[in-house]
Structure 1
Amino acid sequence: MVGLGACGGSSGGGGGDVVTTDTTVATDTAVTQDTAVTQDTAVTQDTAVTQDTAVTQDTAVTQDTVTQDTAVAQDTATCAPQCDGKTCGDDGCGGDCGTCDAGQACVSDACVQGLSCTDVIGCMQSSCDAADQTCLGDCLSQGTPSAQTTFLTLNDCAGTHSCQDSECVSTNCGAEVNACGSDCAPQCIGKVCGGDGCGGTCGTCEGELICNAGACAVAEPTPTTCDDAHGAVGCCANGNVYWFEGGALQGGSCPNNGCGWDASNSYYACSFTGADPSGANPIDCFGTNPAPDTCPACSCEGKTCGDDGCGGSCGTCDGDTFCGTISQCVATGTLQCKVKDGCTAADPCTCASCVTDGACDVDDDCVCPDCAAESFCIAASNCNGDGVCDMFNEGCQCADCAQLPLCAN
């Protein structure tokens, strides 16, 4: 070490310097003249020679130096990481304060949503001069780890071919360009479940918990009536949107994108957040219906089963009966649909057929004797709009092809 070499007075090693100097002094003492011995000065010199003071001092220097070096090593070994207020980045002692999840980047010691490869390029093009390496590096550091790797691979290819324009890059680095374009930055910040926007997931919920707008939550009751769902205005429950339309309760699943107030249309929908700012239309289902005029009049008059028109029930059928399309309990097998006499496949417009499943529904051609009176068969909208008039699934009035343009062909 430097300290030992300086004390020895030689260009050799520290320990060697000390030993060589003391030995030389001892040799000088051995050849001291007798007259020198009798002189006080000589005695003083002898005393100086015979004392191991020089060695002791040298040794002390060696110890001091070693002690100082040890203290330095101890200071280094006991470095206190500085991670207050940091979620990632350097801790000041050669370590880090944490790592970011996939799809994130460490920017200013915090995990933020990372940029995709194309977003990194966009940042560079919109914010940096071509020669500003600091700015370019800042944009790159905001990319996800995969985005940074993909960009650097593309950048290396462009450099290899000395490209100065996009045409050169496209011509020589097509695979790298495609890889950059397909790079996707998962969107999982603030989410513990649901989709990540790249075909993956941010996590799943355990047990009976459901994913609601990226968070695991206890499942809420599901609306079953028009009033529960607040009519056409709708409401949000379990990350889904519910509303009443077309005489039936409707629902849309949006756990990944959230459910909230669509101000432009004045109703609740997927891909929005928050409640109606006016407070007139609560986001939660149930409670007082803020839009009762959008719900049909609930009635079970003339019905023994089926829906009451508001999502409620008018009763259920027992035993071997089922609820027919006019909300009456009908014995299984009552509906016996038959093909008209003389019907041939060559003349399907005068023919009708039914699926003998005991129920008159969309699978049956409504001109069957027991089906023609059903209210379902009155609406021309129930015809199968496939442009082909056949004996199956055309429904209702399409059986008489001449009367409807849809069936004219």
Structure 2
Amino acid sequence: MSRLTLTLFSLVIAAGGALGACGDDKGATSPTAASIPLGVSCASDADCGDLQPTQCQQAACGEAGVCVITAVADGTACSTGAVCVEEQVCQGGTCGGGHAPARDCGDKVCGTDACGNSCGVCAANFECTAAGQCEEIVDPCMGLSFAGCCTGDGKAVWCDGGQLDEQDCAAAGGTCGWRDDVGYYYCTSGDEPPAPDASLPYLCPDSECASADPCGDRECGHQCGLLCGTCGDGEVCRADGTCGEDVCGDLTFTGCCRGTLSYYCKDGVVEVLDCSTVDPASCGWDSAEGFYDCGLSGADPSGTNPADCDEYDFVVPK
């Protein structure tokens, strides 16, 4: 084909080569796709063989002795090159139609194949991997919340930020139990109570009490989350699991001051600190810790916890 022929072919396609009819600025109708003259002289179809129409078109020698472009028969197989469309056919000189190929998942049991066909979904508590396999979702926190639990050997365990954390209470000389003051399981002293909410069990998953009989000879309180007994009226359960006189009254761990002495209640027993042995030799409010202690001065600024021990009803230890 000559350079002139190629130029003429390009101009015709650019100006009106679309297979559908289109109008010019004055409303005239261009030749249809069924017969688009190219201006290339011919005596037979062979003279038009160098032309390269689309796969849904063909070049032939027209009655006027010039090559024309015509549409191939509708239904002729063709392809737009889309890998996820098959069995496309020509329609009015244009390739289209077709349908998505059949699902081809191979070994996949979930996700999609290369063309977006579903290969299946995973059951609850399973997730689909990149390889199209269902794997069980492993919870690093074993279902625990921030409220946590206790192990049989005295550790407090809880979930924080999707990861397990723990505190070895036994190693610090304490025990593990529910703390009403903070609302979760943590280190305590003596008593090992469970949470008031039964949905927060004392023992952590796969943990057992250190003893088959956790209470032993204790007559009150809790051990390993089990109730060992209760005390009578006017009695309290001491840290050693025995019942005794309620010597603390309304005195709490927050404590109070009497001169250079600091009194407070711990595990049902009134404890006393002699502040005369520290510098300065005084008793006062510790704003950082929230209780009365040695070496400080002043009272609770909120007025909730009076500093004067005479404001409390407790038995002063001898």
The structure with more strand, counted as a fraction of residues: 2
**TM-score scaled by length of structure 2:** 0.33
Greater relative CO, 1 or 2 (CA 8 Å, sep 6+): 2
**TM-score scaled by length of structure 1:** 0.27
The structure with more helix, counted as a fraction of residues: 1
